[in-house]
Amino acid sequence: AQKITQTQPGMFVQEKEAVTLDCTYDTSDPSYGLFWYKQPSSGEMIFLIYQGSYDQQNATEGRYSLNFQKARKSANLVISASQLGDSAMYFCAMRVNTGGFKTIFGAGTRLFVKA
């Protein structure tokens, strides 16, 4: 069964420091995609970063990077130089290729950035 696990309900980080949000996944599908989304208090869902299961390099998008460890089935999000605007819920997600490219989401981690 496909599953996404985020074990950190909440995280605190000091402004300008880096923070790692954990994500592990489970699937028997050899081809899959991993995503991170940000949800501010407004409720909108914002796509941050994508990692394909066959990608050799870790994905990076500006201050976001995805630490992909395939053997451990982990896909942690690293946010460098945290900003106050980074305070939000963060969701790890996995796209499965069995019909419709549907995506399943983890329970989320709420990040608090302290000034």
Partner 1 sequence: SQTIHQWPATLVQPVGSPLSLECTVEGTSNPNLYWYRQAAGRGLQLLFYSIGIDQISSEVPQNLSASRPQDRQFILSSKKLLLSDSGFYLCAWGTGSHGYTFGSGTRLTVV
Buried/exposed code over 38-67 (b: 16+ C-beta within 10 A; e: otherwise): beeeeeeeeebbebebeeeeebeeeebbbb
Question: In whole angstroms, how close is the CB of 103 to partner 1 at the nearest point?
Answer: 6
Q: Which C-beta is closer to partner 1: that of 18 or that of 107?
A: 107
Stretch that binds partner 1, among 20-28, 65-73, 74-82, 91-99 (CB under 8 A): 91-99
For the residues of 39-84, what is the DSSP string, one character each?
E-TT---EEEEEEETT-SSPPEETTEEEEEETTTTEEEEEE-S--G
Q: Which residue has the tokens 């499965």?
A: 96
Q: What is the DSSP letter of 101?
A: T
- State the binding string over 44-83 for partner 1 (x if CB under 8 A, else -): xx-xx-x-x-------------------------------
Question: In whole angstroms, how close is the CB of 75 to partner 1 at the nearest point?
Answer: 14
Degrees to nearest 5, angle at CA 65 with 15 and 81: 15
Question: In whole angstroms, how close is the CB of 49 to partner 1 at the nearest point?
Answer: 8
Stretch that binds partner 1, among 19-27, 43-51, 66-74, 78-86 (CB under 8 A): 43-51
| Residues at the site binding partner 1, with contacts judged by CB under 8 A | 33, 35, 37, 43-45, 47-48, 50, 52, 91, 93, 99-108
